[in-house]
Amino acid sequence: MKDTWGEKLFYAFNYVLLTAAALSCLLPLIYLISISLSDSQAVASGIVSLWPVGWSLDSYRALFVGTNIKEAFWNSIVLTGVGTALSMLFTIAAAYPLSRNYFIGARFFTLLIVFTMMFGGGLIPTYLVVKALGLINTYGAVWFTGLVSAYNMLVMMTFFKHIPAELDEAAQMDGCGEWRYLATIVLPLSVPVIAALSLFYGVGYWNSFFNVLIYINDTSKYNMAVLIQQMVQSQSLLAELNQSSSSDQIVLTPEAIKASGIITMVLPMLVVYPFVQKHFVKGIMLGAIKG
């Protein structure tokens, strides 16, 4: 069946709109990559656009030599890895019982969780609670304040509710307990939502800036987000980087340093995302076949 002219026009409009949206996200990233890989003189003269001019890694070399970005990178990995694992563990632990029809008080607790999406205790009371728990200047403060997202928990709870009840009945007839049912039946079927929510939590922890800046006082525990923010705002850091590269007679521009720092922070997510997306699509296929 051939498409009508109206359908062809609609598809063409969608292609143009989606291409423009993709370019609006891609072109700034390409520009930053070009700036970070260009010669300092070319960057200073403003002739760099979407292709590097006078290929050079001086900005990256100065960034890794003159700053503690390697330590901040490791801090981001620890913060993201442990935080994502804890958040998924507690999200599953909260979503599964609330998805069971026989759980007494499920509606009441669900309404309480939804209430937190509209009203919060505020920054100062939260800080006082974190301080009373002795979590100041530890990553536990970051993990504790963002442990479970109410929205993510509701998404997972809804997904659990749509698992066929016949599987639960068959498992009970075979003598399967709640923990075994969750581990061997529910979670394997929930690979798509687990992959998606893990990605959401991971990106959130990797880009965590405000909580780290508030609760972490030791600069050696700063993650990449805070370090890059300080590097973008601090002019003294640029002078220090220029001094570290003065032996090579290289004068670095602020734009090159900022671009190299941003690309260094974004690159891990760009590398990890295709693997997560592949796993996400595979999980959808498995869920469709099993369901």
Q: What residue ranges do the domains of the chain occupy?
A: 67-233
Residue 279, CB half-sphere, CA atoms under 13 Å: how many?
A: 15
State pLDDT tens for residues 208-264: 888 888 998 888 888 888 888 877 776 555 656 655 554 455 566 777 777 888 888
Residue 39 has pLDDT above 60, yes or no: yes
pLDDT at site 175: 80
Assign 83 a pLDDT band (cuts: 50, 70, 90): very high
CB 158 within 8 A of CB 110: no
Name the DSSP class of 221. Answer: G
Other C-beta atoms closer than 10 Å to the C-beta of 38 total: 26
Other C-beta atoms closer than 10 Å to the C-beta of 216 total: 21
CB 191 within 8 A of CB 290: no
Residue 289 has pLDDT above 50, yes or no: no
Whole-structure pTM value: 0.80
In angstroms, the CA 110 to CA 116 distance is: 10
Q: Decide: residue 110, CB within 10 A, 0-12 exposed, 13-18 middle, 19+ buried.
A: middle
- The CATH architecture annotation of domain 67-233 reads Orthogonal Bundle (1.10)
